[in-house]
Amino acid sequence: MQRFGFSAFFILLCCLNAQVLHAQGTQDSRLIWKVNKLDLGAILEEEGIQEATFEFTHSQDSAVWIEKVWTDCGCTTVEYTQDSLAAGETGILKVAFDPGSAVGGFSRLVVVKGNLANMMDTLYLEGKAVPKPRNPEIEYPFISGPVGMRQEKANMGDVFTNEPSFKALEIFNFSDSVLRADSLRYFGPGHIQIRQIQDSIAPGHRGILEIGYDGATKNDLGYAEDPIQFFWSDSLLSDTDVIANVFEFYPGFAKDELGSVPAMRISPSEIDLKEISADEIQELTYTLTNRGREVLEIKKVQGNCGCLSLTLPKTELGPGESMDLIVTFDPKGRRGIDQRNIYIFSNDPLNPVQSVILKSRIK
């Protein structure tokens, strides 16, 4: 039944899109929405139905009203302004979502059709639904202070320098005390901040800590791992590690500028040492070349193992200039098939992060 329902909704969208295409060339009479996408963030199943409100304005001369609203799931219901709106008047559309209907990330579609030709808009409701735990002791095995966590470390994923990233850290209160948001205290680096979403978390219940990570303030690139500590009044200290991959953000540029920006090329992209002894240190080189017309800046080189030593003679290359990255690999203590990855961060706006591979079979 769910498959049939989704297919029917897809066919309906195709038909409505055909109507819009047929109406092209007429005056654009779409409603003006304040936003067309809302993110509810992490929602706990026990928090029940969640509501989001979309606001719109009518700017046409004719009276306007909403004729019909479709959703792609029975878990989503809508209420909306049904009165006629004159030019300049505003209305709202409320969407209610049941978090018990989903697990993990979700994106719900809402299609709104007005009374005028070509008046059809698509709205999106997104978030992450977190189901109730059945066995907290098993599902939150990493206990620190009064709380348990699902994972040993909080993973931010990819973080860029142009804007902070946010992730939800789910915690379970194993203590006998209420954990209140206004008593939460944090100790850690300045580029990381945390806040409690719920006003309070009762004993035997769970909540969400939102972790904010500012890549620009971090002032470093590549893989990063930072220890943080936090506590509530009269509670034991909790700690965890926050991991992230930090990348510099480069805005887009015009196509005719393509030949003038820095452009890094690395040769070879892969080296296979074949069979080597665990007792013999290996030294090899990769050649970095700037094929652009501006200075290439090497901002960082990072290997995925402490067994690698990476050396560059300088950090800048003029147009057409090359240099060697010297890699020293110590295979001591390793056996079998081995692969090392080396990451080079630069100001090449098209490929700001490039990697090379080092393979071997260690005996």
What is the side-by-side strand order in the sheet with 104-114?
Answer: 37-44, 120-130, 104-114, 66-71
Question: What are 341's two structure tokens?
Answer: 């990855």
Contact call for residues 45 and 99 (beta carbons, < 8 A): yes
Q: Which distant-in-sequence residues (6+ apart) come within 8 Å of 31 by Cβ?
A: 56, 57, 58, 64, 112, 114, 119, 121
CATH code for residues 136-247 = 2.60.40.10
Which pLDDT belongs to residue 28? 54
How does pLDDT run across 84-137, given as a tens digit for each residue? 888 888 899 999 999 988 888 999 999 999 888 778 899 999 999 988 899 999
pLDDT band at 29 (very low <50, low <70, confident <90, very high): low
How does pLDDT run across 176-201, given as a tens digit for each residue? 999 999 999 999 999 999 999 999 99
Asked, colleague to colleague, whether 2-130 and 255-362 share their fold, the answer is yes
Concatenating the DSSP letter of every residue in 7-41 gives HHHHHHHHHHHHHHHHTBTB-----EES-SEEEEE
How does pLDDT run across 236-276, given as a tens digit for each residue? 999 999 999 999 999 988 888 888 899 999 999 999 999 99
Which pLDDT belongs to residue 196? 97
Residue 45, SS3 per DSSP? helix
Which pLDDT belongs to residue 252? 87
What's the CA gap between 251 and 253, in Å, rounded? 7
Residue count of the chain, please give it: 363
pLDDT band at 306 (very low <50, low <70, confident <90, very high): very high
Which pLDDT belongs to residue 76? 87
Residue 137, SS3 per DSSP? helix
Which pLDDT belongs to residue 7? 46
Domain ranges across the chain: 2-130, 136-247, 255-362
How does pLDDT run across 64-85, given as a tens digit for each residue? 888 899 998 888 899 998 888 8
Mean pLDDT of 279-307: 96
Q: In terms of pLDDT, which residue wins out, 140 or 257?
A: 140
- What percent of the chain is predicted at pLDDT more than 70? 92
Give, in order, the Cα–Cα distances in Å from 208 to each of 24, 146, 148. Answer: 46, 14, 12
CATH code for residues 255-362 = 2.60.40.10
Instruction: Give the angle 21-27-30 at the CA atoms, nearest 5°.
Output: 75
CATH code for residues 2-130 = 2.60.40.10
> Considering only CA atoms, which of 225, 218, 250 is closest in space to residue 304?
225
Which pLDDT belongs to residue 1? 38
The dihedrals phi and psi of 198, each to the nearest 5 degrees, come to -80, 150
Whose structure tokens read 């620190």?
144
Query: How high is the mean pLDDT of the chain?
Result: 90
Contact call for residues 19 and 29 (beta carbons, < 8 A): no
Give, in order, the Cα–Cα distances in Å from 321 to each of 169, 251, 301, 302, 314. Answer: 46, 25, 18, 22, 12
Q: Which distant-in-sequence residues (6+ apart) come within 8 Å of 7 by Cβ?
A: none
Whose structure tokens read 């009518």?
58
